[in-house]
Amino acid sequence: MFRFPIRIRAISQRFYSNLRPNPNKGLVLGVTYDSQNQPKLTKFGAKFDQMTGGKILSQIQVTDKIEIGKSRICWSIPGPFPAVAVATLAFNNDDSDESIECLNTRKESIRVAAAVGAKALVKEDITDIFFEDFSCPQSAAEGATLGVYKYQRQKSITKRKAIPNLLFIGENNRDTSMWSKGLTRTNSKLDRLERLGVNVIAHGPLWAKHHGMNAFLSVARGSVEPPVFLEITYNGAGGAQPISLVGKGITFDSGGVSIKPNKDMDVMRGDMTGAAVVSGVISALAELQVPVDIKGLIPLTENMPSGSATKPGDVIYAMNGKSICVDNTDCEGRLILCDALCYATLFNPRYILDVATLTGAIKTALGNCCSGVFVNNYRIWPILEKASFEAGDRLWRLPLFKHYTKDVTKYDGHDVNNLGKLKFAGSCTAAAFLREFVPAHIPWVHIDNYGVMQDCEEAYLNKGMSGRPMRTVFEFVSLEAGLSG
């Protein structure tokens, strides 16, 4: 997703004594509480506090307990950091909590602590914010970066808030590397792709027509803006069998002739979140030089009503020759994706993973807590589950039963219907529709991220367009490449 630029620095502890006091500098430390509610600083925090004569711990001890998800600033601390934000870590050994929550609660606690500490210092106009390692620098970097992020591109320059520098005090090179990795995973940009050695080709409508992408072109017919099909190639493994990542790129979704209600239609500029996730993942993989080959495919178009727009009842032919009856033009995401999935198969991929803000039904089912995921291969789910667990941006598996396939295929006059007969299970029928365009022998993952397209205000997730679940997809690809976060 599109994030603001951040200076990445690592400062070894051996240089600590050379840091001079600066009112614009602040430090974020972690604290835990024992059964008697007595505070205990982290290993790094305790060492640092010794250098201050115990000022930090003494300030914490005379105040109320810092609740989980909160922080407190200690002022007038001797040394280079006059302000030190202390945030509570929710470390415990309750495995049942992790199994219920389906995430690494220790890493999640670090993300939250780093975020709330950083936010507290930002409110005090501190521009250089340093972080301890929290025993997991990568998670700390993720929480800090996401926590202080604000979208300001369209604000007047004079009204933009200062961008804080997020800096790390590391004890070794590995910690520094993991901090940088965490920043990269949350700070990826599409405009960095080509300078990272990633090949980006923008195909136009004539190319799409030549390849028989009539479903994709049918959605674009209503807009005066020509469609673009992005093909992004990253060769990090030197010609190995690629992984195909497909992202839905509806740059504005009015619903077409089956027009949406006016309420909240403005947020449908975010209907390209799948495209943003795919481009962000490839950018991060390239910057971190992950040894994997990726073929990114992003169909981009608007879905607009006009005299030339596709009408309900129109029958079109997808790239694989299947006929599709368009019962509802607001079910357009699956139309552009089906041609992209067909094209992805031409590269003989190890697997295909698509990300799409596809159905409102997924938000009804799961809210904005997690994305729904469908898989056609049981071997791939454990890897996805682990990626979701470690990244903290959760996935929840939903069924891809033949029951749903029958709903979109049992018609006399055409092969597939883009809406189906069922009034319920919209996310499942949409996934069943897409399954018709992926050969059974190719492992396929479909992530419906409509529910997480926008975040509410939480500890390290700010209100607005989210770019989720980029971290989980990145982690999944890394695990497939033999790496782990």
Residues that are catalytic: 260, 334
Q: CA-CA distance, 17 to 400, in Å (whole number)?
A: 59
Which of 347, 353, 348 is CA-nearest to residue 373?
A: 353
Give 303's strand partners.
253
Q: State the residue for tokens 């396929």.
A: 444
CA–CA distance from 261 to each of 123, 205, 266, 326, 394 (Å)?
38, 29, 11, 19, 30
Count how many Cα atoms sit within 13 Å of the Cα of residue 359 in the half-sphere of its side chain. Answer: 26
Helix (H, G, I), strand (E, B) or coil at 32: strand
Helix spans in 245-289 (H): 273-287
Helix (H, G, I), strand (E, B) or coil at 72: strand
Helix spans in 16-166 (H): 43-51, 55-61, 95-101, 105-123, 137-148
CA–CA distance from 354 to each of 70, 243, 365, 409 (Å)?
36, 11, 20, 21
Find the angle CA(379)-CA(385)-CA(390) to the nearest 5 degrees.
140
